[in-house]
Amino acid sequence: MKLLIIGGGGREHALAWRLAQSPRVKTVFVAPGNGGTACSPRMQNVDITNLHDLANFARNEGIAYTVVGPEAPLAAGVVDIFREQGLKIFGPSQAAAQLESSKDFAKAFMVRHHIPTAAYQTFTDAEQAKAYIRQQGAPIVVKADGLAAGKGVIVAETEQQALDAVDSMLGDGSFGQAGARVVIEEFLTGEEASFIVMCDGNTIVPMASSQDHKRLLDNDQGPNTGGMGAYSPAPVVSPALHERIMREVIEPTIDGMKKDGIPFTGFLYAGLMIGDGHDATRPLKVLEYNCRMGDPETQPIVMRIRNDLATVFEDAVEGRLQPHAIDWDPRTALGVVVAAHNYPATPRTGDVISQLPADTTHCVTFHAGTTLRDGQLYTSGGRVLCVTGLADTVEAARTMVYDAVQQVQLDGMQYRTDIAWRALQASA
């Protein structure tokens, strides 16, 4: 069969890589794809971004089903457009994607369905927002309501930073529609984990646990990014905590969406803050929902899938997912992101990338912001590569991946040297 993946990042390259290994798959089309998907076996880039044109492509090409990677096409209603035309697609409807596309929607939903999250209030008026900040004090968190490509959250350590964030979101319009409303919420402490499931509307299939590294620099310093590296499994998500997350967060979310008349299909990603204490009682709160897989969490997660992912997605779009549909490799997968010069502020593009490590069965370089021109790879985005390896231990995976990362030649490249430090600390 022929499949279509919408997106062009590391997440989409990783999904395409796993799907292309299925004996049932002839070609995975990736729209728009990147320099990695341009030269991988059984993958083909498609230079289409308009959602109606993508639906036409899927019909004309006889695509068995489409998988959507990023949030923007989901929030723009790509799933509704495909379904109206009888085309199979895996992802949430535009209405369901509001769990990610509107923080205010997500917070009100969580309160309505008793799903644990930070206390909050929503404002459209800057003066009222500021009065609330002065009353609550710092630290406090200010979030633009809409999609802001990972830049809409300010964790303010001082009251002044929070007031400035309100001004820049509600005041000068620099966030556009995304900042027309702000959510101001309680500052939470603890350890973050990404908990992702797939759902066909009824059956829930948990993905392996994972942990991202959001800050640019080692020791979780520097600005927030889209994610600088991830690994799976995340030891913080013990079996007892896994069970609690399913019962306290995931199941009430899927049930709540059903009750609200907007059943959720697709990937549901709960970004969690896990406070200190024993697993049975430690605080567990939702920081955010995403309605898609994480990037870079996908890269290590798909490395651990042992069975045919193409069949799993087929069952999902047909509404016949089985609860244990995925056979997980018990080993650890770890991915390190190589980012461009000056990422995340204003990443430089157009740099030559060379000396990419050769892929092996256990170590693969997934591409993100790369483009292939006349046989040469160039950077075209902030996050450029995610070198991902699978090994018996966290240490072994880490050594393998950093050996490969160090071969890469790219002027101004940045990467963290401490991916999975929490897992190593936990096993020490």
Residues of this chain that interact with ligand AMP (CB under 6 A) are 118, 141, 153, 155, 185-188, 192, 214, 224, 271, 287-288
Contact set for ligand GLY, span 278-297 (CB under 6 A): 290, 294-295, 297
List the x/- string, 173-212, binding to ligand GLY by CB under 6 A. ---------------------------------------x
Please report the beta strands in 157-190, taking only residues with DSSP state E, as ranges in sequence order: 182-186
C-alpha dist (Å) from residue 100 to 63, 88, 97, 103, 175: 27, 22, 6, 7, 16
327 binds, among ligand AMP, ligand GLY, none (CB under 5 to 8 A by kind): none
Evaluate whether 405 touches 338 at the Cβ level (below 8 Å). Answer: yes
C-alpha dist (Å) from residue 323 to 139, 204, 300, 320: 41, 6, 21, 10
Report the amino acid identity of residue 425: Q
Q: Which residues pair with 69 in a beta bridge?
A: none
Complete DSSP assignment for 131-159 = HHHHHH-SSEEEEESS--TT-SEEEESSH
Q: Between 141 and 162, name the residue whose CB sits nearer to ligand AMP.
A: 141
290 binds, among ligand GLY, ligand AMP, none (CB under 5 to 8 A by kind): ligand GLY
The least distance separating ligand GLY from the CB of residue 128, rounded to whole angstroms, comes to: 29
The least distance separating ligand AMP from the CB of residue 270, rounded to whole angstroms, comes to: 10
Q: DSSP state, 399? A: H
Q: Between 133 and 228, name the residue whose CB sits nearer to ligand GLY.
A: 228
The least distance separating ligand GLY from the CB of residue 226, rounded to whole angstroms, comes to: 6
Size of the site for ligand GLY (CB under 6 A): 7
Dist. CA 11–CA 21, nearest whole Å: 16
Please report the beta strands in 39-85, taking only residues with DSSP state E, as ranges in sequence order: 43-45, 65-68
The least distance separating ligand GLY from the CB of residue 196, rounded to whole angstroms, comes to: 9
The least distance separating ligand AMP from the CB of residue 94, rounded to whole angstroms, comes to: 20
Region for residue 296 given its phi and psi (left: phi exceeds 0; alpha: psi -120 to 50; beta: otherwise)? alpha
Q: Between 55 and 387, name the residue whose CB sits nearer to ligand GLY.
A: 387
227 binds, among ligand GLY, ligand AMP, none (CB under 5 to 8 A by kind): ligand GLY
- Residue 69 lies near ligand GLY (rule: CB under 6 A): no
Q: Between 18 and 213, name the residue whose CB sits nearer to ligand GLY.
A: 213
The least distance separating ligand GLY from the CB of residue 233, rounded to whole angstroms, comes to: 16
Q: DSSP state, 179? A: G
Evaluate whether 269 touches 293 at the Cβ level (below 8 Å). Answer: yes
Phi, psi of 385 (to 5 degrees): -140, 160
Contact set for ligand GLY, span 225-244 (CB under 6 A): 226-227
Site for ligand GLY, rule CB under 6 A: 212, 226-227, 290, 294-295, 297
